[in-house]
């Protein structure tokens, strides 16, 4: 499975994920005006379902990381076990994920007759929000590696979708938990948007969450790196395709 093929899957998967997040946010705001709670419920429900479906769709090709923090953890944990991403693959995945996220936002805006790009004015700044992103991201990374290491990867689409859907509600930040998605959502001034000035704080918090997740995995699943090729779900690499 060539790197170009896998990177294209990460691009398309992340684009569709962000299109689902932004598009459902726009729909929710139009269908339920004046009821923010219902809007969030609609947005969370659509995102959770879309995420599970996208993991099923793109997982066999690239693993369906759809998240630079997941990809970075995959490289870090798998490097000594000879599994997971290489540095070159990590760079390709991360670039494809960020480009896909921006593309997905533009696609959602155009589908709803909005300008392709309109910078968000929704400020999301504060220690409580950053803490929420640390928690959301750390939980997500531990979840996907725990499932892979315990040979329960078949449950990943449902489990990850459920986790993100729940984290919309139990975190004050509504669980972005993904640097690529965070960057992409800065390009839309709609329900799901985040002001560009708020992006660095969220991304920094997500990276901290990733580091904490790696530390937790070292304690709870010390051999998690051996299952890096099964994150988020088992997929073909150039090496395994030849076996």
Distances (CA, A) of 234 to 64, 116, 209: 9, 35, 24
pTM given for the model: 0.94
**What proportion of the chain, given as a percentage, has pLDDT over 70?**
97
* Domain ranges, residue 47: 3-226
Mean pLDDT of all residues belonging to the chain: 94
Question: Could you give the 3-state DSSP secondary structure of residue 199?
Answer: helix
Instruction: Classify residue 231: in a domain, yes or no.
Output: no
What's the CATH number where 57 sits?
Answer: 1.20.1080.10
Instruction: Classify residue 68: in a domain, yes or no.
Output: yes
Residue 86 · residue 75 · CB < 8 Å: yes
Residue 225 · residue 71 · CB < 8 Å: no
Instruction: Classify residue 124: in a domain, yes or no.
Output: yes
Instruction: Classify residue 78: in a domain, yes or no.
Output: yes
pLDDT digit string, tens, across residues 28-60: 999 999 999 999 999 999 999 999 999 999 999
Q: What is the pLDDT of residue 236?
A: 59
Closest CA to 137 of 227, 51, 68: 68
Instruction: Classify residue 66: in a domain, yes or no.
Output: yes
Neighbouring CB atoms inside 10 A of 3's CB total 17
Instruction: Classify residue 149: in a domain, yes or no.
Output: yes
- Whether the pLDDT of residue 174 is over 70: the answer is yes
Q: How many domains in the chain?
A: 1
Long-range contacts for 47-50 (Cβ within 8 Å, ≥24 apart)?
Answer: 47/17, 47/20, 47/21, 47/164, 47/165, 47/168, 48/161, 48/162, 48/164, 48/165, 48/168, 49/161, 50/16, 50/17, 50/20, 50/21, 50/24
Instruction: Classify residue 207: in a domain, yes or no.
Output: yes
């Amino acid at each position: 499975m060539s790197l170009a093929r896998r990177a294209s899957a990460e691009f398309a998967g992340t684009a569709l994920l962000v299109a689902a997040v932004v598009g459902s946010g726009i729909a929710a705001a139009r269908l339920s005006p004046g009821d923010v709670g219902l809007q969030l419920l609609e947005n969370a429900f659509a995102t959770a379902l879309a995420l599970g479906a996208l993991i099923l769709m793109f997982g066999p090709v690239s693993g369906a990381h759809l998240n630079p923090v997941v990809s970075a953890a995959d490289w870090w944990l798998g490097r000594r076990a000879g599994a997971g991403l290489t540095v070159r693959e990590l760079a390709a995945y991360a670039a494809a994920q960020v480009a896909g996220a921006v593309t997905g936002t533009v696609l959602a805006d155009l589908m709803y007759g909005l300008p392709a790009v309109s910078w968000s004015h929704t400020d999301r700044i504060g220690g409580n929000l950053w803490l929420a992103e640390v928690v959301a991201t750390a939980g997500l990374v531990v979840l996907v590696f725990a499932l892979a290491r315990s040979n329960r990867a078949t449950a990943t689409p449902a489990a990850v979708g459920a986790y993100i859907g729940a984290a919309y509600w139990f975190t004050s930040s509504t669980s972005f938990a993904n640097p690529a998605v965070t960057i992409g959502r800065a390009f839309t001034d709609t329900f799901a948007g985040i002001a560009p000035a708020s992006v660095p704080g969220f991304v920094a918090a997500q990276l901290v969450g990733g580091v904490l997740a790696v530390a937790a995995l070292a304690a709870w699943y010390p051999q998690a790196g051996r299952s890096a090729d099964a994150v988020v779900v088992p997929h073909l690499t150039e090496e395994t395709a030849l076996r």
